[in-house]
Amino acid sequence: MSHHLESLIFRYPALQPCLPEIAKAYELLEGTFLRDGKLLLCGNGGSASDADHWAGELLKGFGQLRPLPPEMRHGISDDMASRLQWAFPVIPLTGFPALATAFANDVEPEFVFAQLTLALGRKGDVLTALSTSGNSRNVCRAAEVARARGLPVLALTGESGGRLKELADICICVPATSTPLVQEFHLPIYHCLCLMLEDRFAAIHQ
């Protein structure tokens, strides 16, 4: 077991039952990035902030420095290359305010994430859907489109899993039902996944 997983369970023993699904989530994300796929993230409210937060940890160094390897420096000045970092291809679907507001006004708010999944998702990508209840309609709609497009769905939810559990290939159902407690569990889970991925790909980019 990864020492990051061991640390997670040591600090949050209530997450022990989630361990198999967290390990599967890591394997899914590792395989996605090894095949040059990208990660799409969506959620509402605090989960939208978690989607942005998760993306931020993967788009620059998190637990360690990520200097550009020689193959990524081609055509970039040494001065700039020394300041850039290798990163994972991640898109938080929460970050398109012009599209989101236009689509909500002109079509229907419930389908904003579905529209973005349709537009940006490609075979080989993965959609990660965060919902404390598992029943957020716009998040579930995105999961429906992802499945139709052949994208695996990773869900982080509360205890019941809600409808997302039925739509997801992997569903991490944390042992809580109230929104703040569910979100308190989600953060260390995605931090753990980020650290595990960073360790794995740092070895590749050395």
* Residue-wise pLDDT tens digits, 138-153: 999 999 999 999 999 9
Which pLDDT does position 206 carry in this prediction? 77
Rg (CA), the chain: 17
Between 206 and 107, residue with greater pLDDT? 107
pLDDT in tens, 102-144: 999 999 999 999 999 999 999 999 999 999 999 999 999 999 9
Which pLDDT does position 205 carry in this prediction? 86
Q: Catalogue all structural domains in the chain, each as residue range(s) with its CATH number.
A: 3-205 (3.40.50.10490)
pLDDT in tens, 15-32: 999 999 999 999 999 999
Q: Which pTM was predicted? A: 0.96
CA distance linking residue 159 with residue 182, whole number of Å: 8
Q: Are 30 and 22 spatial neighbours (Cβ–Cβ below 8 Å)?
A: no
Angle (CA) 164-129-99 rounded to 5° is 120
Q: Average pLDDT over the chain, rounded to whole?
A: 97
Overall average pLDDT of the 84-109 stretch = 97
Sheet holding 170-173, edge to edge: 90-92, 39-42, 126-130, 153-157, 170-173
pLDDT in tens, 69-78: 999 999 999 9
